[in-house]
Amino acid sequence: MLLRLLQRALPWAVMLTVVLLLAGCGPMYETQYSFIPPENESARACIFQCENGKLQCHQLEEMKEENCENRADRDYYRCKDRGEKYCYRESCSVDYERCEGQYRSCYQACGGRVESRQVCVAFCN
């Protein structure tokens, strides 16, 4: 009797869960930037330096991620080699947003304008 009741209620419970999860997903936005360059040539040379700085920052972030992944692999396999039951691998990621923020500040310091706007990227109406 109880089993039969559970069999009938389960599809409704799953459907209700899905509906509640979807209802909780409001629109998701991201900030997009437009760059308006300065008029004079020396300011453009300044912006070129900003671009070089951004490139170096991205390369540094990639090196950090690679070092992190190597360390995470080494630590994980050491744990496994010791025969431990619960071993985990550290998660590694890059932080390009820090580089982009520095670039926007540098761009403005050189006389350029940075305009931002919010754009809906998911669950838009």
DSSP state of 94: -
Q: What is the pLDDT of residue 109?
A: 97
Which residue type does 35 have?
Answer: F
Mean pLDDT per 10-residue run, the chain (125 residues)? 55 59 75 94 94 97 96 95 92 94 97 96 86
pLDDT at 8: 64
pLDDT of 5: 47
Residue spans of the domains in the chain: they are: 44-125
**Cα distance between residue 110 and residue 50, in whole Å:** 9
| pLDDT, tens digit (0-9, with 9 covering 90-100), for 50-68 | 999 999 999 999 999 999 9
Q: Which residues pair with 120 in a beta bridge?
A: 29
Strand partners of residue 122 = 28
Whole-number Å distance between alpha carbons of 17 and 67:
41
CA distance 10 to 51: 56
Give the helix ranges, DSSP H, for 1-123. 2-23, 41-81, 96-109
**Within 13 Å of residue 73, how many CA atoms lie on the same side as its CB?**
5
For the chain, give the mean pLDDT: 87
